[in-house]
Amino acid sequence: MATHIHLGHIFHIAGAPKVTEAAAALVSIPDGALVLDDGGRIAFCGDRAEIPSEYESGTVHDHRPGFLLPGFVDTHVHFPQTYAGDSYGGGQLLEWLTLCMFPSEAKFADPEFAQQAAVEFTNRRISAGTTAAMVFGSAFPHAQDALFTETQKAGLRIVSGRGIQTVGDETAQPLMTSEEDAIRLTREEIDKWHGADTGDVDTALLHVAIIPRFSLSVTPETLKNLGELYDEVRDRGVYVHSHLNENNRPGTGEVDSTKETYQVNSYLDTYDGKFLPGSAVGGKSLLGRRTILAHCVHCQDVELERMAETGTSVSHCPISQLFLGSGTMPWKRTVASGVTISVGSDFGGGDEWLIPRVLGDAFKVHITEAGDDGVSMHPAEMLFVGTLGGARALDMENRFGNFDAGKEADFVVVDPSGTPTLDGLLRNGFRSSDPELARDQTLFALLMGIRETSITEVYVAGKRAKSS
Ligand code: GUN
Ligand code: ZN
């Protein structure tokens, strides 16, 4: 790979700030240049007029008047729900799972169907500029093989694992396995795919996660066994992913049902080895720097504190929370806890693949939170949770997430002319005479207005991602 120079208006969040420091770390370079070295890393990010002389002979890709943004990071998206967005079944989470999701996901038992879905899923990611993702996988190993194979062909990053279920009603039956198979299949997936593309997890694009669907889909025995498995493979950089405190509809809510089933006061305890008899000394925890828990709408302070303490991250999925009537992750309280916040599309609980659409709904739900909890997210905070925050949640902030020199070059090219509404917003929208506010207004318009039609090129570690 030779040196490449990409020109456009650059936005990114520099350094390694907290979400509350994102505005101060926001970088906007209207006449910007992103220079990639021959290894696909960021050699220079700055003003076009200041490109260091050693790079001046690089191949120029002139995207002006377009924009260059870090690749989007989706930390919660369901592969076996590729064809299940907008599913109508009446009711909230638990009814929707039984009526719509389990039957939809059972279709992946057919290898041809699963293969076609893997191609579709990967293409949707490229269209949406999602360069890195934590992907909740299919129960079927052949479907996971197709997903990893297609992702590798496309050149995207992925962390994924088969969705583990060992208990449920007859609609869940096709997705369930015995206790033994739950551990065996998970171990086999780790051995087959974790770091498989380069043979080194620190340079790989492919990684594996242990994914119990949620506490109600597995038994205490499964969680105990998975805790032991994780204890064995944690040092290999394996991930953990699941759902937490998503829906608490009175009477039939997931949160109360979980506490009742496991006889715990805190849902998080079920992932922390604490539901076991003699819990304080007992089961091994699934929490840690490589664990991401989706939703966290109804967390107690003690749960948020424990997540922050262990380095466990939140995947905030506002579109899906609206669709399933789950409520809103409390922004101020979650930020105050110090836990890392990233965002997820949660497609098919959500009905959009595009992370900026998730950010748009995050803005809307948080400004609507009651009383003093209502907050107008800064556009830099929106960009942060959709890019650098996601890289941090994946524990790969040292590799991607912004345009700091030396990082692997993950970025999207945005051409506003592909989306007339966005084009109009950027050309003719009112901008303040205060340059800082004008900058923020432009970034906000960009994040709110981007659609798949605006994203023309997608790069991971300096290489262009390829659809099939
Ligand atoms: N909790 C358990 N399974 C699921 C799922 O498929 N989607 C969502 N949104 N929540 C879940
Ligand atoms: Zn989900």
Q: What's the gap in Å between 100 CA and the centre of ligand 2?
A: 13
Q: What is the pLDDT of residue 438?
A: 98
| Closest ligand 1 atom number to CA of residue 326 | 9
Tens-place pLDDT, residues 200-216: 999 999 999 999 999 99
Q: Delimit the domains of the chain by residue range.
A: 4-70+403-464, 72-368
Can you give the pLDDT at residue 278? 55
pLDDT confidence of residue 279: 60
Fold classification of 4-70+403-464 is: Urease, subunit C; domain 1 (2.30.40)
E strand or H helix that includes residue 160:
strand 158-164
How many Å apart are CA 426 and CA 377, to the nearest integer? 20
466's tokens: 């390829």
Residues 318-367 have pLDDT tens digits of 999 999 999 999 999 999 999 999 999 999 999 999 999 999 999 999 99
Which run of H or of E encompasses 27?
strand 26-36
Confidence at residue 1, expressed as pLDDT on a 0 to 100 scale: 59
In the structure encoding, which two tokens stand for residue 22, read together?
Answer: 């994102």
pLDDT averaged over every residue in the chain: 96
212-232 pLDDT, tens digit per residue, is 999 999 999 999 999 999 999
Residue 448 tokens, joined? 């709110």
Q: How high is the pLDDT of residue 276?
A: 65
Q: How far apart are CA 77 and CA 74, in angstroms?
A: 7
φ, ψ of residue 27 in degrees (nearest 5): -115, 130
- The model's pLDDT over 272-282, given as tens digits with 9 standing for 90+, comes to 998 765 565 56
69: pLDDT strictly greater than 70: yes
Tens digit of each residue's pLDDT (9 = 90 or more) over 240-275: 999 999 999 887 789 999 999 999 999 999 999 987
Q: Give me the phi and psi of 210, to 5 degrees please.
A: -90, 125
Neighbours of 40 (CB within 10 A): 16
Mutate to test the pocket of ligand 1, among 82, 100, 215, 246 (most ligand atoms within 8 A of CB): 246
Which residues touch 297 (CB under 8 Å, ≥6 apart)?
245, 246, 247, 248, 321, 326, 327, 328, 329, 330
Cα dihedral angle (417, 318, 398, 145), rounded to 10 degrees? -90
Distance between CA atoms of residues 417 and 424, nearest Å: 9
Q: Is the CB of 105 under 6 A from ligand 1?
A: no
40 pLDDT exceeds 70? Answer: yes
Give yes or no for residue 97 CB within 6 A of ligand 1: yes
pLDDT tens per residue, range 87-119: 887 789 999 999 999 999 999 999 999 999 999
CA of 74 to the centre of ligand 2 (A): 12
Which tokens belong to 15?
A: 């350094």
Pocket mutation for ligand 1, best pick of 81, 94, 97, 257 (most atoms within 8 Å of C-beta) = 97
**What pLDDT is recorded for position 89?**
76
Report pLDDT for 91. Answer: 83
Would you state the pLDDT for residue 14?
98
**Second CATH level (architecture) for the domain 72-368:** Alpha-Beta Barrel (3.20)
Q: How many A from CA of 322 to the centre of ligand 1?
A: 13
Angle between helices 179-193 and 220-233 (to 10 degrees): 30
**Among 401, 409, 391, which Cα is nearest to 37's?**
409
Task: Give the pLDDT of residue 252.
Answer: 74
Helix axes 379-386, 355-367, angle to 10 degrees: 130
Q: φ, ψ for residue 4 (rounded to 5)? A: -125, 140
pLDDT for position 407: 98
Are 401 and 391 contacting, i.e. CB atoms less than 8 angstroms apart? yes
- The answer to whether 188 touches 238, Cβ cutoff 8 Å, is no
- Rounded mean pLDDT of 283-301? 97
Ligand 1 and 457: CB distance under 6 A = no
